[in-house]
Homo-oligomer: A and B are copies of this chain.
């Protein structure tokens, strides 16, 4: 972390907040309420954290005006409308920045590649024919940038990333370590009991401000391109198959997998390990809860789920056996039958009483 300190006033100004208390208080970093020391700034985002805030050793707190009134034992605040957003902004102040530019001596760069003077290329990177690397882009050690790949400005390509299949990246794209973009799509034609490989001729197009985690696989298209639109964010170990299209600002948590040729709308949120079958369409603003299996198109915004709730294993086993039996239990018919019998019984009862 940077050894540099910042005054409370300066930090308040950076998030356009109100500085309350000791304006020249020097702060060395951000911390959680629980682990903060007096040289740290922490944030309070909801009433349920007020107790923690009171007990925190943080030197100052980012709060809303309403929360400030309820925290009695503290004097130093940055008051903002959205403390979490202010915190998000200030993390960048304390983040260690990459400042090197230039090409490490051990990098192998094809003569036909165009590398911006303000870019950084790490040790043992290999950059192929006709590649383009934009201004202020950082390519960490051991990256493989294969022939024909183009990378925009201010991107971060972390160590051991492989960019291949002539993929094209926009600006401010961040790809974390050991991810593969542009690998061969899984396309095989079955014929006479064997699988015949379909060479993948499409590519991958990635918009601006896209973020891809570590150990992801984003395959090139078969004929057309696989597409991640602007602002898409993907966590680690995500699989995006050939010819998938992911709409702008859609977020996927770790271990999601999207099968081939599926189109996903804008502003969707997929929780962890969601699986989506191929060749379907998901509308904009769809939320899918964790580990759900999406087996058909979703045309309406909303929240979708599948799976069963976690149970103690013995309880689960009994329920699971009954799930199997369900196949032979005509539930709706059963309900009707029950209602019908109810009427029969009531009719019998009343007639009976009448005749007494």
Shortest beta-carbon distance, A263 to chain B, in Å?
12
Stretch of A60-68, A69-77, A113-121, A285-293 that contacts chain B: A285-293
> Interface centre among A84, A87, A320, by most B CB within 10 Å?
A320
Contacts of A292 in B (CB 8 A): 310
Q: Is the CB of A236 within 8 A of B255?
A: no
| Among candidates B88, B142, B199, residue contacting A92 with C-beta atoms closer than 8 Å | B199
Q: How far is the CA of A162 from the CA of B198 in the complex (A)?
A: 25
Q: Is the CB of A85 within 8 A of B316?
A: no
Q: Is the CB of B178 within 8 A of A180?
A: yes
| Among candidates B189, B239, B305, residue contacting A88 with C-beta atoms closer than 8 Å | B189
Closest to A32 in B: B223
Say whether A245 faces chain B, with CB atoms less than 8 Å apart: no
Q: How far is the CA of A146 from the CA of B253 in the complex (A)?
A: 25
Produce 1/0 per residue, A21-49, CB < 8 A to B.
00000000111101100000000000000
Shortest beta-carbon distance, A232 to chain B, in Å?
9
* Contacting residues of chain A (217-272) with chain B, CB-CB under 8 angstroms: 217, 219, 222-224, 231, 233, 235-237, 239, 241, 249, 251, 253-255, 257, 259, 267, 271-272
Known contacts A123-B108, A201-B91, A224-B35; A319/B326 CB under 8 A: yes
Produce 1/0 per residue, A96-114, CB < 8 A to B.
1000000010101000000
Known contacts A106-B108, A177-B183; A324/B307 CB under 8 A: no
Q: In the complex this chain forms, how many copies of it are found?
A: 3
Stretch of A3-11, A131-139, A207-215 that contacts chain B: A207-215
Say whether A13 faces chain B, with CB atoms less than 8 Å apart: no
Q: Taking beta carbons and an 8 Å cutoff, which residues of A are in contact with B?
A: 1, 29-32, 34-35, 82, 84-85, 87-89, 91-92, 94-96, 104, 106, 108, 122-124, 126, 140-142, 144, 146-147, 158-160, 162, 164, 174, 176-180, 183-184, 186-189, 191, 193-201, 209, 211, 213-217, 219, 222-224, 231, 233, 235-237, 239, 241, 249, 251, 253-255, 257, 259, 267, 271-273, 275, 277, 287-296, 302-329, 331-332, 334-335, 337-338, 341-342, 344-345, 348-349, 351-352
Please list 26 pairs of residues, one from A and one from B, whose beta carbons are closer than 8 Å in the complex, sorted by A's number. Answer: A32-B223, A32-B224, A35-B223, A82-B191, A84-B189, A91-B198, A91-B222, A92-B197, A108-B124, A108-B141, A142-B142, A146-B159, A158-B183, A176-B180, A176-B184, A183-B236, A195-B251, A235-B239, A272-B277, A273-B273, A305-B320, A315-B327, A318-B326, A323-B323, A329-B331, A329-B335
